[in-house]
Structure 1
Amino acid sequence: MAVPLFNLAPDLSVSRLCLGTMTFGEQNSLSQSLQLLDKAFQSGINFFDSAEMYPVPQRAETQGKSEEYLGHWIRSRNIPRDRLVLATKVCGPSGKMTWIRNGPESVDSRNIAEALDNSLLRLQSDYIDLYQVHWPDRYVPMFGETEFDSHRTFPYVSFEEQLIALEKAICSDKIYRTK
């Protein structure tokens, strides 16, 4: 059964389903990942999601493998880039993943630009269709926390700085925009 496509713009059709790749490089080997991507694409899925921190669980030794596997698949199958919709994400602050830009310490313009450039290299692509902030540059309960502590705060980057950094990436055509 083929997956139907949504036409969001005259030159962009997106499948109703998106294949996430957070297990590629840890639970799934390269050959298994390529088989999954082949089957999804043959079934009509053209929307694929990854993140700079994938696969999970997060480890320095495997960080970025999911994007690498996805990029390898695109190149090895010679799939025209305009037939795919690629999504990936920049990490928010994390004291746990110190191998990714020191944590990263914030989602500031430098971290956004560096993360985006590294994702483009791993994906072997000139642009990302959907680029996301994986979690906010604000204190929120996460990674196993279940309660919000109203007294816990940390310095954060303004939304304006983050939006300006993303706008620069869009204007430089690193993040897709319809013309």
Structure 2
Amino acid sequence: MHMTTLGRTGIEVSKFCLGSMTWGTQNTLEEGHAQIERALSAGINFVDTAEMYPVNPLSAETQGRTEEVIGEWFAASARRKDVVLATKHSGEGISYVRDGAMITAESIPQALDGSLARLKTDYIDLYQFHWPNRGSYMFRKNWLYDPTNQSRAETLQNMEDCLGALQREVDRGRIRAFGMSNESAWGLTQWANAAERTDGPRMATVQNEYSLMCRLADTDVAETCHNEDIGMLSFSPLATGLLTGKYQNGAVPDGSRLSLSPELGGRKTPRAFEAVQAYLDVANKHGIDPVHMAMAFVRDRPFMASVIFGATSVAQLDHILEGAELVLNDEVMKDIDAAHRAHPMPY
């Protein structure tokens, strides 16, 4: 298993990270535990979750169950030290999580208390904010994103306040490192600058969507990651299953993400299926499994720290693991570049 270090933290993680967002809805506690054990046996030491999980669907009734699944595994296995654990503090807009309030210095210890209790641990390795208070252009909002209503002064003050609260948690030993999710290049730079001003924890990672189908980061966030030593954690590296090819020609497999989320969060478009076919053709031309090609491409981007993937069965997990050592050659990369130029931003 390929390994790397998160930013400047010294925390070593596998370049594949096990996502958990379906544990508690699509997956049972036992299935979640089986996935953790299989991942660890393959050399994956990194697990990502969030206080608002599980998804499909999101609901007040299930909120927190995913962290509880992981916590039960820690309690039963006594293997907390074998896992680099990442979780996330929800931001503004989720009504049943702290009444939909924004992230503040006051909300951080409260949210962390809840996560630690559910996870049955006394520390989080990587504590992330799920999205910025000012909003984000992620999740297809890029088409209409308008930052002109933002207050720069309020944003920077909130960053400094939050970093102060995070540093207090670092001093208490409750978190080891800090990361953002769904953040822009400007936001990452401001977090880095604020950490220098306040001596708060320096941002180690940013978790944004990135795949063959979604390469917004190439034009701005990648440069910030390089120059500020911030590692990207990609989510949806298989484009919510589109890149497996299983949804081509109108197929909707039972129990699949598409069967539960008919629009795939805005990713289901005619142009998306055309782009998928182009990448399937590249994989077929070179005799590569398309899942393995998609994962290897994201893993080896120069700004990438780790690739977060989810599986709804151990069989799917095994399929991904079979390609963990694949490295794409120059000819494959040339054909991927051609497909990307022909099908930019397909959703």
TM range (shorter): 0.7 to 0.9
Q: Give the corresponding residue for 2:162.
A: 162
2:106 partner SS:
helix
- Number of the residue aligned with 1:78: 78
State which drifts further: 139-148 or 20-29: 139-148
Report deviation, 1:149: 3.4
Amino acid paired to 1:130: L
* Rg comparison, structure with higher value: 2
Q: Of residues 92, 98, 102 in structure 1, which corresponds to 2:99? A: 102
- The structure carrying a bigger helix percent of its residues is 2
CA positional deviation for 1:6: 3.9
What TM-score comes out, normalization by structure 2 length? 0.45
2:91 is aligned with 1:111: no
SS at match of 1:109: coil
2:134 is the counterpart of 1:138 = yes
Tell me, in whole angstroms, the C-alpha distance in 2 between the residues paired with 1:70 and 1:86: 10
Once residues 152 and 84 of structure 1 are traced to their aligned partners in structure 2, the CA distance between those partners, rounded to angstroms, is 41
**For 1:8-46, what per-residue CA distance to the aligned partner results, in whole angstroms no more than 9, with x for missing partners?**
799854222110111111111111111111111111111
1:149 aligns with 2:167: no
Q: Take 2:11 and 2:103, find their aligned partners in 1: how far apart are those partners?
A: 29
Instruction: Mark the CA change 1:150 to 1:130 in structure 2 (over 3 Å): closer, same or farther.
Output: closer
Task: Report the counterpart of residue 59 of structure 1 in structure 2.
Answer: 59
Q: CA deviation at 1:100?
A: 0.6
Q: Kindly tell me: are residues 135 and 12 of structure 1, through their superposed partners in 2, closer, same or farther at Cα, counting changes over 3 Å?
A: closer
CA RMSD of aligned residues (A): 2.5
- CA offset digits 1:36-70 (Å, max 9, x no partner): 11111111111100000011131011101111101
Q: Is the 8 A contact 1:128 1:175 kept in 2?
A: yes
Instruction: Give the superposition deviation at 1:82.
Output: 2.2
**Alpha-carbon distance change, 139 to 17 in structure 1, aligned in 2, over 3 angstroms:** closer
Counterpart residue number, 1:120: 116
Q: How high is the TM-score relative to the length of structure 1?
A: 0.84
- In the alignment of these two chains, the number of paired residues is 171
Contact 1:139 1:153 in 2 (8 A): no
Determine helix, strand or coil for the equivalent of 2:175: coil
| Alignment gaps of 5+ in structure 1 | none
**Alpha-carbon separation, structure 1, partners of 2:4 and 2:65:** 29
**Can you give the 5+ residue segments of structure 2 that lack an aligned partner in the other structure?**
178-347
Whole-Å Cα distance in 1 between the matches of residues 130 and 150 of structure 2? 19
Of all paired residues, the percent bearing the same amino acid is 41
